[in-house]
C-alpha cells in the first residue's frame, strides 16, 4: 500500500508533474531549503537530471530560490500548491462555461465539414503523457518536414517526454526539421541539444503559442499549460487537426517567426559573450570546485591530445588572488589609499590573516607580519599572492591602476614583509 509520499507523487503526476520532478518537490518539502546537488542526491537522481527538473519546478513556481553561493531551493508549501490547483481548475471551468456555445459551434462545424484524410477533423488530447505519446507517433510517420514553434520553456519538456528522440529519428530518415523558439540563459543547454540535429532559430520576441506542423497534413497546437494559453500550472491540453483552415494560420505563424529569427548559433555566441563564467569555491567544499577545474584540464588535454600539461604556478596564484581582493574590497571602506589601508588593518585583525600595519603614509607602505602565506614550503605564495591580492583590493576600491612592490618572504618573513603601494 503506497505511503503518504507515494500518494502525493500520484497526485502530482495527475496534475502534469513528471514522476522524477515530483520526487524532487517532495524532497524539498521534507528536507527544507537544499542546494541543487543535495536535492538530486536525496531524490536518487544524477546531478544533470536533477538540475533539469529543478529548473522545470522553478519555472512552474513550485520551487523558489534563495541565496547566491550556493543557491538553495525551497518548496512551495503543499497547501499553497493545492490552493493554486483549485483556483486554476475553477478558472478553467468558468472559461469553459463562458466559451461553451462557441466551442460547441466549432465542433459542430468540424463534424459537418470533415477533412477526407481524417474523419474527425479535430482531436483533443489532454495530459502530458498522452500528448507526448501522440506526438511521438505522428513524428514517426513524417516523410518530408516537421516545423516546430515552441516557447523556450517547452524545450526541456520535449526532452523529458522523449520528443527529441522522435525528431532525431525523423531527421535520420531525411525529414527536414525546422525549430523556432526563444533561446535564453535558462534554456541554453537544451537549445544546444536541439541545435545539434535541427535547423534552429531564435525568435526576436515572445513565442506565444506552441505548435508542431507535420508534412503540411496536420498540426498539433497547445491550448493550455506550458506552451499554450493560461499559466504553466494549467493542465496540458493540445488540439490536433488536419483541417486546412486550421493548419494554414499555424504555418503562417511559424513562417513569420522564422523569417524574422536569427540562427541559433549566433544567439548562443551572443549569450556566452555577455559575461564570464564563474566557478564558486564555498568554504568547506573547496575540493568539489577544484575537482571541476581538474575535469576542465582533463577535457582540454583530451581534445588537444596533450599528454602532460605544465602550469605556471605564479600565474595560477595571481588568478586566485585577484578575485579574492575584489571581494574583500566590497567589505572594507575607504575612498583614498590611506582609507583603504586602514580598512585592511581592521580586516586582517578581525579575520586572523596576520597583522597589517601602516608604516609610512608617503609613499604608502604597509607591513604584514605573521602572514599565513609566508611559509618555507611555498615561498611563491608570499611573493606572488600578497602583492596581487593587495593590488586587487586597492584597484577595486579606488578604480585606478596601482603598483604594489614584491618583497622576498624568504628574507623578510620573520620580521614581516613591506609592501609599497603607489599609482601605476
Q: Using alpha carbons only, what angle is made at residue 33 by residues 31 and 36, rounded to the nearest 5 degrees?
A: 95
User: Between vectors from CA 336 to CA 332 and to CA 337, what angle results, nearest 5°?
Assistant: 85
Under 8 Å CB-to-CB from 277, ≥6 apart: which residues? Answer: none
Domains and CATH numbers, the chain: 4-80 (1.10.10.10), 112-270 (3.30.870.10), 311-423 (3.30.1380.20)
Grid cell for residue 121: 477533423
CA 352 – CA 370 distance, rounded (Å): 9
- For the chain, 424 residues long, give each residue's pLDDT as a single digit of tens: 345 556 777 788 877 788 888 888 888 888 888 888 888 888 888 878 888 888 888 888 888 887 766 788 888 888 888 888 888 878 878 877 877 777 666 655 544 443 434 445 788 888 888 888 888 888 988 889 999 999 888 888 888 888 999 999 999 999 999 999 998 888 888 898 999 999 999 987 788 778 899 987 788 888 876 555 434 455 778 888 888 888 888 888 888 889 888 999 888 888 776 555 566 777 777 777 777 778 778 878 877 878 888 887 778 888 888 888 888 888 887 888 888 998 898 888 887 677 889 988 888 898 888 776 665 555 556 677 888 888 888 888 887 778 888 876 566 556 778 888 887 6
Report the pLDDT value the prediction gives residue 5, as an integer from 0 to 100. Answer: 57
* Residue among 398, 390, 350 at smallest CA distance from 368: 390
Rounded Cα distance between 224 and 263, Å, is 28
Task: Give the separation between CA 24 and CA 3, rounded to whole angstroms.
Answer: 17
Classify residue 230 as left (phi > 0), alpha (psi -120 to 50) or beta: left
- In 3D space, the residue among 200, 198, 202, 189 whose CA is nearest the CA of residue 164 turns out to be 198
Q: Rounded distance, CA 386 to CA 107, Å?
A: 77
Amino acid at each position: 500500500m503506497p505511503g503518504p509520499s507515494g500518494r502525493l507523487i500520484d497526485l502530482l503526476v495527475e496534475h502534469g508533474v513528471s514522476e522524477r520532478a515530483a520526487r524532487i518537490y517532495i524532497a524539498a518539502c521534507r528536507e527544507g531549503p537544499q542546494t541543487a546537488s543535495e536535492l538530486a542526491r536525496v531524490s536518487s537522481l544524477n546531478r544533470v537530471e536533477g538540475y533539469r527538473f529543478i529548473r522545470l519546478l522553478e519555472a512552474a513556481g513550485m520551487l523558489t530560490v534563495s541565496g547566491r553561493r550556493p543557491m538553495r531551493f525551497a518548496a512551495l508549501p503543499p497547501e499553497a500548491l493545492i490552493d493554486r490547483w483549485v483556483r486554476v481548475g475553477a478558472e478553467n471551468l468558468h472559461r469553459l462555461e463562458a466559451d461553451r456555445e462557441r466551442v460547441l459551434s466549432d465542433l459542430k462545424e468540424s463534424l459537418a465539414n470533415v477533412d477526407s484524410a481524417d474523419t474527425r477533423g479535430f482531436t483533443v488530447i489532454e495530459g502530458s503523457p498522452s500528448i507526448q505519446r501522440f506526438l511521438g507517433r505522428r513524428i514517426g510517420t513524417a516523410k518530408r518536414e516537421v516545423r516546430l514553434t515552441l516557447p523556450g520553456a517547452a524545450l526541456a519538456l520535449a526532452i523529458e517526454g522523449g520528443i527529441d528522440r522522435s525528431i532525431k529519428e525523423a531527421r535520420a530518415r531525411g525529414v527536414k526539421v525546422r525549430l523556432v523558439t526563444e533561446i535564453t540563459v535558462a534554456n541554453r543547454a537544451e537549445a544546444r541539444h536541439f541545435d545539434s540535429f535541427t535547423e534552429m532559430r531564435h525568435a526576436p520576441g515572445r513565442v506565444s503559442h506552441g505548435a508542431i506542423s507535420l508534412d503540411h497534413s496536420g498540426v498539433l497546437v497547445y491550448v493550455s499549460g506550458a506552451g499554450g494559453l493560461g499559466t504553466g500550472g494549467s493542465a496540458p491540453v493540445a488540439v490536433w487537426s488536419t483541417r486546412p483552415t486550421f493548419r494554414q494560420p499555424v504555418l503562417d505563424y511559424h513562417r513569420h517567426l522564422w523569417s524574422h529569427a536569427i540562427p541559433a548559433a549566433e544567439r548562443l555566441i551572443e549569450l556566452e559573450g555577455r559575461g564570464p563564467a564563474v566557478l564558486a569555491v564555498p568554504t568547506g567544499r573547496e575540493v568539489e570546485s577544484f575537482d571541476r577545474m581538474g575535469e576542465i584540464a582533463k577535457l582540454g588535454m583530451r581534445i588537444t591530445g596533450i599528454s602532460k600539461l605544465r602550469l605556471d604556478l605564479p600565474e595560477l596564484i595571481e588568478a586566485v588572488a585577484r578575485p579574492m581582493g575584489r571581494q574583500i574590497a566590497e567589505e572594507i571602506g575607504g575612498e583614498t589609499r590611506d582609507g583603504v589601508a586602514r580598512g585592511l588593518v581592521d580586516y586582517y585583525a578581525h579575520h586572523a590573516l596576520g597583522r597589517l600595519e601602516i608604516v609610512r603614509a608617503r609613499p604608502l607602505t604597509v607591513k604584514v607580519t605573521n602572514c599565513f602565506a609566508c611559509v618555507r614550503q611555498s615561498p611563491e605564495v608570499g611573493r606572488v599572492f600578497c602583492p596581487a591580492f593587495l593590488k586587487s583590493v586597492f584597484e577595486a576600491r579606488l578604480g585606478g591602476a596601482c603598483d604594489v612592490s614584491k618583497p622576498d618572504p624568504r628574507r623578510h618573513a620573520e620580521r614581516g614583509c613591506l609592501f609599497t603601494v603607489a599609482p601605476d
